[in-house]
Amino acid sequence: MKGYRLQFIRHGITQGNLDGRYIGITDEGLCAQGRKELEKKKESFVYPHVERIYTSPLKRCRETAELLYTDCSMRLVPELREMNFGEFENKRAVDIMNTPQYKEFMKGGLDNPPPGGESMRDVVERCYWAADFIICDMMSRGVDTAAVITHGGIIMNMLSCFGLPKARPMEWPCDFGEGYEVLVTADMWQRSDVFEIRGKFPYLKD
């Protein structure tokens, strides 16, 4: 049965990342260091050509896609955006860690959103809609290979929810400009909503 390959890749570094800020839906682009590190990774690793790119609409993901891939059709997928951290947006954890609201948020749980923000249940639900849209779109267009440029938290949740072998989200960490390659068939997705995690991505050059 025909397989479809997807490369899930985390965006490059932003100034907010360097500052340790929550930049969920804060729409900032790559910083100079982020661009430089992605260029270095392009020299050391192989990012094979893909037929289509699906990306979070946030600037840091779009800029990463444009830097890593050229001459490729790009589709913005709103459901690939990072979590909305509400009142914690653009704030450093170290500055809010002693507040009652932050302590409550750190207890975790699917239905424990930050004040004014998005719950983890909402994030998981739209991860499914994003994965389903991308896979079905690839199948309908006859696209065999695609890159999915999104956020670290989204990648970890997607792989935990739909990936084989099964593992918790924190067991699928990925550095900036890196991620995982997965393989899916129509039967795997339509019957069980799963895909096979093939390994880390990108590949080291020989």
pLDDT tens sequence across 142-186: 999 999 999 999 999 999 999 999 999 999 999 999 999 999 999
Q: Tens of pLDDT along 113-153?
A: 999 999 999 999 999 999 999 999 999 999 999 999 999 99
> Which structural domain range is residue 34 located in?
3-204
Q: Tens of pLDDT along 7-17?
A: 999 999 999 99
- Residue 159 burial (CB < 10 Å; 0-12/13-18/19+)? buried
Q: Find the CATH number of the domain harbouring 67.
A: 3.40.50.1240
- What's the domain count of the chain? 1
Q: Tens of pLDDT along 50-95?
A: 999 999 999 999 999 999 998 888 999 999 999 999 999 999 999 9
> What's the half-sphere exposure (Cβ side, CA atoms, 13 Å) at 203?
9
